[in-house]
Amino acid sequence: MVAGRSISLRDAIATLEGYPERTPPRYDLPGPGDPYLLTPAEVIRTRVVRSRIGGREVDWFVEQAKDAPWVAPGSDLRDADPGTRGGLYDAMTSLYRHFMDARPRGVSHAKVSKVLHVKRPALFPILDQHVFTAYRAEARTQGARYPELGFRSITWAAVRADLLAATSSGALVRLREMVAAHAEEKVRRLSAVTDLRLLDMLTW
């Protein structure tokens, strides 16, 4: 299940085959780099996924990141239970708000999430308008499930629910096996991206 849609493994592979070939090598595959340092090049590479981050915004992200409350490298969204206070979900919220609360005009949820996904690719979903729209119904369901968080919609939790379901069902393991054995190199190299990023690619 991805954003309320059931996708067969065959259709999932077809979606990955059609994913823009230049994007993973330029955005995903360079990796997160120094886990506690955000560089201008890392911010700039988000332009590949249409962040439209300008020069002044690059400088702002780099400066703002210097005292960011970074969560542990390798943190995984599956471990970020919205119902557990003081846990990973709260920590990722604090990191996200560090940027969102101080953002200059023009810096959106999409820009912040695309930058944070570079640094913590297994934890932060890419929250552009397409993902918000795709997960609208599921996000509202999660908002009702966790009213104590004070949000009508919780997209992170909705994405996490799909990620957990695809993990427990074995669908992600099978998909990765098919990716690794694929005839096309552009698909095989997707073995290097996180489960979260694979799920993101399947929303398109």
Q: Can you give the pLDDT at residue 204?
A: 83
- pLDDT exceeding 90 applies to what percent of the chain? 99
Q: Compute φ and ψ for 119, nearest 5 degrees.
A: -85, -30
Give a yes or no: residue 66 inside a domain: yes
Host domain of residue 81: 9-201
pLDDT of residue 39: 98
pLDDT at 89: 98
pLDDT digits (tens, 9 = 90+) for 96-152: 999 999 999 999 999 999 999 999 999 999 999 999 999 999 999 999 999 999 999
Tell whether 109 is covered by a domain: yes
CB 29 within 8 A of CB 189: yes
Residue 160 in domain: yes
pLDDT of residue 81: 98
- Name the domain count of the chain: 1
- The verdict on residue 4 lying in a domain is no
pTM, two decimals, is 0.96
pLDDT in tens, 82-91: 999 999 999 9
pLDDT at 13 over 90: yes
179: exposed, middle or buried (Cβ count in 10 Å: 0-12, 13-18, 19+): buried
* Range 180-190 average pLDDT: 98
Q: Would you state the pLDDT for residue 73?
A: 97
> Does residue 135 fall inside a structural domain?
yes
- Whether the pLDDT of residue 181 is over 90: the answer is yes
Write down the pLDDT at residue 23.
97
Q: Is 112 domain-assigned? A: yes
Q: What does the pLDDT average to over 144-167?
A: 96
Domain assignment of residue 27, yes or no: yes
User: Please, which pLDDT band fits residue 42 given cuts at 50, 70 and 90?
Assistant: very high
Whether 3 is covered by a domain: the verdict is no
Tell me which residue has tokens 């005839």: 183
Question: What pLDDT sits at residue 65?
Answer: 98
